[in-house]
Every structure is written in C-alpha cells, then in structure tokens.
A and B are shown apart, each in its own frame.
Chain A
Amino acid sequence: MRKTMTMLAFALIAATANAEPIEQRIAPCLACHGENGQSQTENTPSLGGQQAPYTLIQLFMFREKLRTFEPMNEMAKPLTDDDLRLFSDFIAKMPKPAPPGENVDPARMQRGQALVQQHRCDTCHNPDLSGKENVPRIANQREDYLAKTLTEYKDNSRHGYDASMADVMAPIAADQIADLAHYIAHVR
C-alpha cells in the first residue's frame, strides 16, 4: 500500500513533468504538505514562506539520498536541477503558516522562549524565526514535525547539510525539545 501510494505520487510527478505549469506539478506535494503553505498532515512540515535556498538544499539532499525519507526520495528522484530551483522558488512565495491559536501552554511557551534565547536559535534563524538563506523558517512550523526533527538532529540520524544543528542540539534534553517545539510552533 505504501509502495502503491508512493508510486502514485511518483507517477503524478513524472506524468506532469515539465509540460505542466508549476501550480499543477506541485499539487501532489501539497496533498501532504497542505494547500496555502500550511500542512494538515501529521509529522509533515508546512512549506509556506520557506527560504528558497533551504528548500533547494533539502530537495537536493532528498534526490541524492543524503536525507533519507523514502516517499520524498522517490518524489525528488526525477527532478532536474532546474526543477529543484523551480519548486524551491515557488514554495518560498506560498503564504507562511499561521500560528495555531488553541492549546497554548503559557508555562511551556515561557520555557521554550528561554531556550530559544539561551541557545541563540534567533542568531541564525532570525529574531522572528523566519530564517534566512540556507537557514529555514521555523516559526509556526508544525509542533510534531519540529519535535521530531530536533530529536533527529540531536541523535544525528538526520544529518544536516553542514552538521551545525547536531552541534547545537547536543546539550539540549528531550523534555526541552518538547518545550522548544511548542514555543516555535506557537510563536507570534
């Protein structure tokens, strides 16, 4: 079933290759990543407003299997260098995700904010966490995806492009990751 669906997605991308406008080519991506830049899918990141250089690196890494997640590796496989640029640039122009209003825990928000300052996330990710260049927008990213990603950086199962996140995450404890993710997901 997984294989079938992956193949379906793959077929959609392949079938629409090149001839179709980007709006149609990207539709299979948005089926999971969400229309209007905001993901409704568990553990799947919102793409809206993402920094184009960052997305380009991620798509490249998926295509080259330097970042491993089978559905994305399959999706990226047939893409040319120009395709990668096209998708990255288009994604950057999609509306950025909005902060979820419910289930905000003030105590966790406070702890998360302190952690962001303490570990200087804002230095590279910008004070509003909107990212810059190859450093991603993380503000209002899905909380589950943030927690998962930070955990993967910490145990180095997700190799960053240049490994700086592995270094940054080394001293951060698991429960602190939960607070960080909560804060970053809800930051306004």
Chain B
Amino acid sequence: MMNYVSVPRGLLLSGAFLTAFTLNAAAQQATDPPVAAPPPSTAPAAGAPPPAGTAASPTLPPGSPLIGRPAGNDAAAKLAPIAPPPIPAAPDKLPIAKLKVPAGFNIEVYAAGMANARSLALGDKGTVFVGSRLVDKVYAIVNKDGKREVKVLVSGLYRPNGVAFKDGTLYIAELSKISKIEKVEDNLDNPPKPTVIFDKLPKDEAHGWKFIAIGPDNKLYAPVGQPGNNVLNDDEHGLIRRMNLDGSGAEVIVRGVRHTVGFDWHPETKQLYFTDNGRDWMSEDVPEDELNRITKVGEHFGAPFCLQGNIVDPEFGWGKSCSEYTAPVGLLGPHSAALGMRFYTGNMFPKAYKNVAIIARHGSWNRTKKIGGDVVIAKLNKDGTMKSMEPFLTGFLEDNKYIGRPVDVLQMKDGSLLVSDDYNGAVYRITYGKPKMAGK
C-alpha cells in the first residue's frame, strides 16, 4: 500500500547508513520547506480553542472520538479510547487465574497467541475462525488429533473484524468489503484468496469495522456504523443490511443503529437481537448501550436522535420524539461497549441458561469509573424484552484497569462457550460440570 515511497526512501536511508558509517553527519541539512504561502482563510480564528461540548463542533472531524468532550474538565480530559497491547500475551501470562465464573462453571485457555482476537465463527469440522481489527489477520484454531493449533489463515486484510461460517464457506468482513473462502476447512494450510462478494460499503474508519452473521433465512447480515460519536448519517450509515450469500439482493432492513458489533437470532421466535453502543460524552451515566430486537423490516432504532429509547439527543433530538423510534428491549450499561452476543442453546449449561442471551461487554473508556469488561447473561421475558442482566464472566477489570477485554462469545457443539479477548489475543472456554469433562 505504500510501495510508492519505499524505493526512493530506501535509497535515502541506505545513503544515510553510509554517511553514518563514515562519520559524516552532513545529512542534516535544513529541510525547511520554503516559506509557506499565506494559508487560505479556511483556518478558523487562530488562538482560541473552539467551544467544545457540542457535537456540531466544526473543527473536529466527524470520526474523532473527542467530539463532544466538555472543555476545561480535567476528569473528561483523562478519558480516551484504550489501545490494546500489540503483542498477544504469552499463554502463561494470561489472566486466567483472576477470571471468575459462577459456581459449577470452569474456565480455561482455549487458544492464545492471536494478536487482537475479535469475532468468532465455528466451522462444521470444529475449526474456530477468529477475526481481528488492529492487525490484518484472520486466524483458525484447528483441532487436530486432540491437539489445538493456531494458524494464520489469511493476512493482508484491512480491519477484518467480522467472520461467519455456513455450509463449508467462511465469510470475512473487512472495513469496506465482504468476501468468502469456499471449502475453507479442507484448505486450512493453503487457503485460496478470499473472493469479494460485496464491496458497496463506505470506508469510514470510525465505527467502520464490522460484525457479520448468517441468519436462519440463509442471508448474510452486515451493519454499517455511524461514522463518528454523534453525527447525522446519510443513507449509507447507521444501518443493518442483509444479502444473499453471493452478495446479491442486498437490502437495508433497519436504520438508526449507531454501531452494532454483535447479533444473533432468538432460537424460538427467530427474531434478530442486536447490541448497540450508545454515544459518548453526554454524561458518565447515560445513555446506556442497548439490546435491540427487530420485529419488522424498516424499523428505525433512534440513533442519533433518540438514545436508549427515552432520551432525545441534546444536539439532534430537537423536534424529535422517542415515540418515533423503536425502543430497545433492554439496557446494558453506560459506555459498557456491549459487543458480541449469542443465544445459548446448548445442553451443557444448567436449564436456567436455555435461550438466554450471552453478551460480551468490552468495557468502557468514556467513563471515569470503568464499567463492563465482562460477559453477562440477559434473560428475557415472555414478550421478548429483557428481564434481567447478571454477571457471568468477570475479573477483567482490576483497580479500574483492564487486564483483558472480552469481544465475542461462541457456543461450541458440546455446549461449552468460547470467549475472545482482544487485549490479550486469546480465546477462553467456559464449561459446566466437573473440570475433568472439560478436557475431553
């Protein structure tokens, strides 16, 4: 992608080696650009910082996470998105001993060494596919003769957060395109290049990474986030789209979605439930992240006009009412970054877990006292709304610092549950019953 510079600069640098070796430091000649022409008047009034606290602040780009940050507030000035370490934690450095699950459950390391491990998908033959966001890789955790092995399945991808699997084919969602690898489990050592099936997607970095999944209707569902913290969207943003598995027949099914990074279909009603991340910088405690349910095509879930179903946005909500939008079926905590969610349909966990939504909360950055960094269980009422939310996997948050951050959950065929952690580049497995069984 940057090949155009490498030759001349390579030469330059090699030259620099020579000069350095010959103790000639003359390379330092002033490289001051010629005195710049007076700037065009695009620069707003020099000197004073812009008035902050408004989402419409013209001096910050739409994608900046700093939009809306109140000025002159020391507590707010300390908050910024948290970058994970680039190198995956060594297996013996994983925080496994600090992680807590309810009585009767066990947790173990399933696989490690996958930098920035994010979304999960399960192949027919037991291969677990793992996407990433900050690196260029999709990994495969392969089970071979009772031994697990991590392979880099594909490199050179751009923010390949989303993975989904159906009938032998792996689907990968990068920032602005979706591609597939057929018969992937037969070619894990030497997979063919992914074939693009859909690329009519915007390239915004902010909330541009994607979760994907394939529904009971055999269509691929792919969202596009809102391109910034709190911004008005055009028709290409803030939505969920579905398409045939070859990329044809794409249609937008819902709007008003700020950024969903996890969804699944209810095992009985087959309705699509999705998590959605609420906006930042409004306050420490609101809005909360949402659990939503699609009941019909064409629904609008409120962003950026109505937040958490009952707050009209201070900037964009004027003239709007929350009654115009579909309200969430549950709230998942302020700034908690609810990401991956799946319904539990397995037989391993106790009966009380049947059909509950298991939700990975990545954990807040836009809050002084951090919240989330856990996996929670959301139980539903008969009408499909959320009845309760309770902790399931905790311990990632220590002294208001993360020692790990869960991203996605995935039920295995035996009913055990995988949890990915992009902070440590690992996947854990949660089982129920005597630990001996877990090793099987």
Contacts and interface: CB of A to CB of B under 8 A. Distances in A.
Is the pairing of A and B real?
Answer: yes
Interface of A: 1-2, 4-6, 8-9, 31-32, 40-44, 53, 56-57, 60-61, 64, 66, 68-71, 81, 84-85, 102-103, 105, 108, 110-111, 114-115, 117-120, 123-124, 133-134, 142-144, 147, 152, 157-159, 161-164, 166-171, 173, 175-176, 178-179, 182
A41 B63 contact: no
Given A161-B134, A173-B40, A1 B17 contact: no
Contact of A143 (B16, B25, B32, B80): B32
Shortest beta-carbon contacts, A-B, top 8: A5-B14, A167-B63, A114-B46, A163-B205, A60-B86, A31-B20, A144-B31, A68-B2
Interface stretch (B3-11, B166-174, B183-191, B283-291): B3-11
B297 interface: no
Contacts of B80: 123-124
B89 to A, nearest CB: 10
B247 interface: no
A32 B16 contact: yes
A136 to B, nearest CB: 12
Nearest to B58: A171
A173 B42 contact: yes
Contact of B46 (A56, A111, A157): A111
A31 B13 CA distance: 10
Interface of B: 1-3, 5-7, 9-21, 25, 27-33, 35-37, 39-40, 42-44, 46-50, 59-66, 69, 77, 80-81, 83, 85-87, 90, 115, 134-136, 158, 205-206
B81 A69 contact: no
Contacts of B115: 60, 64
A158 B2 CA distance: 8
A148 B66 CA distance: 24
25 contacts: A2-B7, A5-B17, A5-B18, A8-B17, A9-B17, A31-B16, A32-B16, A32-B20, A41-B28, A56-B86, A60-B87, A61-B86, A69-B9, A117-B49, A118-B49, A159-B158, A162-B83, A163-B205, A164-B65, A166-B63, A167-B64, A168-B64, A169-B61, A173-B39, A173-B40
The secondary-structure label for the interface of chain A is helix
Nearest to B34: A178
A176 B17 contact: no
B201 to A, nearest CB: 16
B326 to A, nearest CB: 29
Nearest to B21: A31
Contact of A71 (B10, B31, B61): B10
A40 to B, nearest CB: 4
Nearest to B65: A164
A81 B69 CA distance: 36
B114 to A, nearest CB: 13
Given A57-B86, A162-B83, 12 more contacts: A4-B14, A31-B21, A42-B29, A43-B9, A81-B90, A114-B46, A118-B46, A119-B60, A120-B60, A123-B69, A144-B31, A179-B36
B16 A167 contact: no
